[in-house]
Structure 1
Amino acid sequence: MHSDVLIIGAGSAGSVVANRLSADPARRVTVLEAGARVTDPEMRRPELWPFIHGRRYDWAYRTTPQPGLAGRSLEWARGKGPGGSSLVHAMAHMRGCRADFDRWVEATGDDRWSWDALLPSFIRSESFSGGADAVHGADGPLPVMLPGPDLSSPLVTDYLAAWESLGVARIPDHNGGEMLGGTPNSLTIRDGQRVTVSDVYLDPVLDRPNLTLLTGVDVHRLVLAGSRVSGVEVSLHGADEVLTADEVILCAGSIGDPLLLMRSGIGDPSVLSAAGVDTVLESTGVGTNLHDHLLGAGTLYRSARPVPPTRLQLSESMTYLSLDGLSVTAGPADIVVGCVVGPSASESFPDHGVAPGEGYTLLFGVTNPTSRGSLRISGPDLADEPIIDPNYLDTEHDRAAFRAALEHARLVGGSDALAAWRDSEVLPGASVSTEAEADAFIARAAITHHHPVGTLSMGASDAAPVTPDLRFRGLSNLHVVDASVIPSITAGPVHASVLALAESFAARYPA
């Protein structure tokens, strides 16, 4: 089977790229997806997103034990099936702020990755509930809902008022270029149900005769011929075969992409040799620069009155803050505090004693961590478990910023404006007051925010695995289009920026 373009991965980025590139009827596009179509009705229910992880449509990765997290190993959910991680994420739609994309430009030397240059791609991707304006689109595939007071929890309404009482600005939404301030989360929900990227980008165009989606495909390795990828070794319907293509685009994500490359003999020779794989193409940056957001789960309060069940997806509002002061409204975000309409705590605190309806949580975290980890293969085969080491909280910057985030969560949690809700602080509790006690609590409370990026970073340097135009260095017909190329994480959830990245790539294809 031969294609003009072979896309590996039908997740969020792959769905966008498949839609846009197959719009040319002369271009034969094939998409390979490891997972099957997901029919679980609970996947559609926004409030159940934390409880569907670990099901058959989750890759269910796990990190190595983390010294910075008191030796804990974290579960990393990643979606498996058409739609990818939009099957399992928290549905929050936050583009990031201008300062985030300034770092992309600094890394790549290419203005195409600036906020202003990406804005048309953001607009093209969305159908915003508030209608079109200078920064929002109303005609794109993905519905983006900004909840009004009829849907937001009364707890969240008071939470946002509490920030305002402390001098923090109320902003219209998280997607206007500046994120500092408080607002309800914009969500990819329509008619009360989760919307996946496959729903709106890939599925509606599968009747195109030049577009083929193959599910249940195990992709073992790339086949190289000189400086080109000549084919892909796969298992399909129980048979092994090689699919060929003129162009190959990796969209398997920050974990799947580098693992496939390493199994194919592309990466750091020392890593490959340790896993029993011969080096075909040396690229020492493959699998490095891994980073992710952590959230402290959490600052947990017993409520003085019943907390109504969420009508959205539990985590209803994130407030982004500058450590230069609560009143700062422009520039990079340093920390985040989020309001969860229910009790939420890491596995370290199973006996916190707060039942649903009896409490609420203020999550807290660092938006731009400087700790960097790595990802590598343990063996040559698809079944060999990956070694995922995000190296959380390795830098003093991250530890100090996390302490500040905890302080800000307790500041708003203990404010007069939330007095009517607050009965008592269950976690971390009065016993946590010093820096050392805060660090120890954070190490036990921190959980992943499910935003791994950077394992195939794009950059101007020859050391970067991917060029600024998303071509893999050393291979003329291989591109990478997903969160793995992000050189520095955006302040909020990365999903919206991945969609814009894919839209930008497709609009310029072929370069």
Structure 2
Amino acid sequence: MAGSSADVVIVGGGSCGAVLAARLSTDPDRRVLLLDAGDGYVAAEGIPPRLLDLGVLPVGEGEPATWRYDGHLTDARRVPVMRGFGLGGSGAVNGGYFVRATRADLAAWDSDLWTYDAALPYFCRSETDLDHRGPRHGDSGPIPVHRDPPDRRHPISAAFHDAALDAGFPAEPDKNDSAAAGIGPVPLNARDGVRVNTALAYLLPVRSRHNLEIRGHTRVLRVLLDGDRAVGVQVERAGTVETIPAGTVVLCSGGVGSPLLLMRSGIGPADELRGVGIAPLHELSGVGRGFSDHPEIAVPYRYRDGAMHRPGTPVLQVCLNVGDEYELRPYTASFTDLVAGSPAMPPQLGVALMNPASRGEITLDPADPQGLPRVRYRYLELETDRRSARHGLDLALDLLAAPQLRALAQPLDVDRTDDWISAHLGTSQHLSGSCRMGPDPDAGAVVDERCRVHGLEGLAVVDTSVIPRVPSRGPHATAVMLAERAAELL
């Protein structure tokens, strides 16, 4: 694409940005420029094998496909949080879980544009379901969706599945076609053990389009405003700062990256921006505020008969959803085996709270506003969440005591106190709602139902930051649907 301006500049080539760039560039008269701070691969052959292997999590220390920040889960609990860096974003480094938001999740968006029935065609458009057919599944979309069959399950996956059934939980053979919950196989965005992220599925097949340009290793410093209109972005590439004019700017930098970029551009809570030395240009009090995520408690155990690591096995093959409250995740290996460079740690059963009441905030560091953010999750601050955590732990321990699992696994030093739970607390890394969608900016909404930033022309946000409340299932499939739908609405 000739020149340095574009009709649409998309900031971030992750799970949403890659979809938008592919869909918006189908119009040959629309010039689309995708900017990403990480690698801009030219072909699938250029993607490192570790990013394709569904049996590992490439999120270890020093991994160039990730960036990390300190997550303040509680006042006492701080953990490193890894996010994807480069084309494909976090979808290039996660476990491949590809489960849709439920009807109730989408009803919480409170928009006729985003009901489950309105969203269903876009869920279907995104996928080719290799296991299920029918009007509620796609058969020609870019993302292959696969579930490991029973004869390929890890012993822990198989035992957990059977134990949950014996405990009275219903079978849920298709987690992408049910408003209910239960035990069943996890839909994976994968084919033949290959993790298929959105860059691989959507972007690389069309990157030769004359009206689409992908620039890697390009850091966007701020969105440029002319009054109440976005007119471009300022970027740094190879040590040079330049300005790129744009008709429309769409931020797809993720639940942390998009609010950071807005605040660094003078868009956000005015008093807080002044406090870190940034002139407020457009006040939006909700930027970075009120996000939600899924707290996860790691219940450790040891294998009774030695190691069970099976290289190439998906990280998660089955899971148990208990209403919209809990998701129990029997991981198929220790994170020592899944994440290169990790210290020795036992295997674990994850207990995630899928409808937490806690809400967090993202702020700039006053000492270095251009550096790493401060991300406070405020997990388990409320008694309702602490009570849910205790109940979820009870469910996990009951299942581990079932005959099928007791033959394979022995829990390690588990008690039911709040202190123990806090010490074993992590995050699912599903951060949503930091630029949430809604009609009223005075009530904290940042974008309207069409993903346009309130009060500014030519600026939109399309990623999990706009989802008003973290879905009661992992958000990857919902993020892809969001981008599919937003490509039309924009």
> Shorter-chain-normalised TM-score: which range?
over 0.9
2:384 is the alignment partner of 1:384: no
Query: CA shift at 1:398, angstroms?
Result: 1.2
Could you tell me how far apart the structure 1 residues matched to 2:35 and 2:348 are? 40
Residue in structure 2 matched with residue 328 of structure 1 by the alignment:
none
Q: Which amino acid is the alignment partner of residue 288 of structure 1?
A: R
Q: Judging changes above 3 Å, is the alpha-carbon distance between structure 1 residues 362 and 407 closer, same or farther for their aligned structure 2 residues?
A: same
1:53 touches 1:77 (CA, 8 Å); kept in 2? no
Q: Which amino acid is the alignment partner of residue 454 of structure 1?
A: G
Query: CA shift at 1:448, angstroms?
Result: 1.3
Q: Describe how 1:45-124 pairs up with structure 2 within 5 A.
A: 45-49=53-57, 52=60, 54-64=62-72, 66-67=74-75, 71-105=76-110, 110-124=111-125
Residue in structure 1 matched with residue 362 of structure 2 by the alignment:
375
1:370 touches 1:395 (CA, 8 Å); kept in 2? yes
Could you tell me how far apart the structure 2 residues matched to 1:362 and 1:310 are? 19
Residue in structure 2 matched with residue 470 of structure 1 by the alignment:
451
Could you tell me how far apart the structure 2 residues matched to 1:381 and 1:237 are? 21
Residue from 425, 430, 433 that aligns with 2:411: 425
2:335 touches 2:345 (CA, 8 Å); kept in 1? no
Residue in structure 1 matched with residue 44 of structure 2 by the alignment:
none
1:277 touches 1:380 (CA, 8 Å); kept in 2? no
Query: CA shift at 1:275, angstroms?
Result: 0.9
Could you tell me how far apart the structure 2 residues matched to 1:256 and 1:51 are? 18
Could you tell me how far apart the structure 2 residues matched to 1:32 and 1:295 are? 33
Q: Judging changes above 3 Å, is the alpha-carbon distance between structure 1 residues 113 and 54 closer, same or farther for their aligned structure 2 residues?
A: farther
Query: CA shift at 1:96, angstroms?
Result: 2.1
Q: Which amino acid is the alignment partner of residue 66 of structure 1?
A: T
SS in 1 for 2:151: coil
2:343 is the alignment partner of 1:338: no
Q: Describe how 1:98-497 pairs up with structure 2 within 5 A.
A: 98-105=103-110, 110-304=111-305, 307=308, 309=310, 311-322=312-323, 333-343=324-334, 354=346, 360-379=347-366, 383-422=370-409, 424-428=410-414, 432-433=415-416, 437=417, 439-463=418-442, 464-497=445-478
Could you tell me how far apart the structure 2 residues matched to 1:405 and 1:93 are? 23
1:78 touches 1:85 (CA, 8 Å); kept in 2? yes
Residue from 17, 25, 30 that aligns with 1:14: 17
> Which string of whole-angstrom CA distances, capped at 9 and with x for unpartnered residues, describes residues 86-132 of structure 1?
12111111112211111112xxxx12211111110000001111143
Residue from 20, 40, 43 that aligns with 2:48: 40
Q: Which amino acid is the alignment partner of residue 494 of structure 1?
A: P
Could you tell me how far apart the structure 1 residues matched to 2:322 and 2:300 are? 17
How many residues align structurally?
476
Q: Which runs of 5+ in 2 are unaligned?
A: 42-46
Q: Judging changes above 3 Å, is the alpha-carbon distance between structure 1 residues 470 and 57 closer, same or farther for their aligned structure 2 residues?
A: same
Query: CA shift at 1:27, angstroms?
Result: 0.5
Q: Which amino acid is the alignment partner of residue 402 of structure 2?
A: S
1:46 touches 1:194 (CA, 8 Å); kept in 2? yes
SS in 2 for 1:222: strand
Q: Which amino acid is the alignment partner of residue 48 of structure 1?
A: V
SS in 2 for 1:307: coil
1:263 touches 1:380 (CA, 8 Å); kept in 2? no
> Which string of whole-angstrom CA distances, capped at 9 and with x for unpartnered residues, describes residues 394-450 of structure 1?
21121111111100001111013333324x32141xxx24xxx2x111101111111
Could you tell me how far apart the structure 2 residues matched to 1:141 and 1:53 are? 31
Q: Which amino acid is the alignment partner of residue 409 of structure 1?
A: A
Could you tell me how far apart the structure 2 residues matched to 1:454 and 1:503 are? 19
Could you tell me how far apart the structure 2 residues matched to 1:223 and 1:415 are? 59
Q: Which amino acid is the alignment partner of residue 507 of structure 1?
A: E
Query: CA shift at 1:60, angstroms?
Result: 1.1
Could you tell me how far apart the structure 2 residues matched to 1:74 and 1:195 are? 28
2:73 touches 2:379 (CA, 8 Å); kept in 1? no
2:256 touches 2:434 (CA, 8 Å); kept in 1? yes
SS in 2 for 1:48: coil
Q: Which amino acid is the alignment partner of residue 33 of structure 2?
A: T
SS in 1 for 2:392: helix
Higher mean C-alpha deviation, range 128-137 or range 482-491: 128-137
Q: Which amino acid is the alignment partner of residue 19 of structure 2?
A: V
1:111 touches 1:117 (CA, 8 Å); kept in 2? yes
Q: Which amino acid is the alignment partner of residue 479 of structure 1?
A: A
Query: CA shift at 1:51, angstroms?
Result: 5.1
Identity of aligned residues (%): 33
SS in 2 for 1:63: strand
Cα RMSD (Å) of the superposition? Answer: 2.1
Higher mean C-alpha deviation, range 379-388 or range 127-136: 379-388
Query: CA shift at 1:387, angstroms?
Result: 1.2
Residue in structure 2 matched with residue 500 of structure 1 by the alignment:
481
Could you tell me how far apart the structure 1 residues matched to 2:413 and 2:134 are? 42
SS in 1 for 2:441: coil
Query: CA shift at 1:52, angstroms?
Result: 3.8
Q: Judging changes above 3 Å, is the alpha-carbon distance between structure 1 residues 65 and 114 closer, same or farther for their aligned structure 2 residues?
A: closer
Query: CA shift at 1:351, angstroms?
Result: 9.6
Q: Which amino acid is the alignment partner of residue 90 of structure 1?
A: G
Q: Which amino acid is the alignment partner of residue 22 of structure 2?
A: N
Q: Judging changes above 3 Å, is the alpha-carbon distance between structure 1 residues 219 and 379 closer, same or farther for their aligned structure 2 residues?
A: farther
Could you tell me how far apart the structure 2 residues matched to 1:172 and 1:232 are? 46
SS in 1 for 2:84: coil
Q: Judging changes above 3 Å, is the alpha-carbon distance between structure 1 residues 351 and 187 closer, same or farther for their aligned structure 2 residues?
A: closer
Q: Judging changes above 3 Å, is the alpha-carbon distance between structure 1 residues 262 and 140 closer, same or farther for their aligned structure 2 residues?
A: same
1:96 touches 1:179 (CA, 8 Å); kept in 2? no
Q: Judging changes above 3 Å, is the alpha-carbon distance between structure 1 residues 53 and 467 closer, same or farther for their aligned structure 2 residues?
A: farther
Q: Which amino acid is the alignment partner of residue 104 of structure 1?
A: W
Could you tell me how far apart the structure 1 residues matched to 2:26 and 2:383 are? 49
Query: CA shift at 1:494, angstroms?
Result: 0.6
Could you tell me how far apart the structure 2 residues matched to 1:501 and 1:89 are? 19
SS in 1 for 2:255: helix
Could you tell me how far apart the structure 2 residues matched to 1:243 and 1:28 are? 13
1:162 touches 1:417 (CA, 8 Å); kept in 2? yes
TM-score normalised by length of structure 1: 0.89
Q: Which amino acid is the alignment partner of residue 274 of structure 1?
A: G
SS in 2 for 1:78: strand
Query: CA shift at 1:380, angstroms?
Result: 9.1
SS in 2 for 1:116: helix
Q: Judging changes above 3 Å, is the alpha-carbon distance between structure 1 residues 11 and 306 closer, same or farther for their aligned structure 2 residues?
A: closer
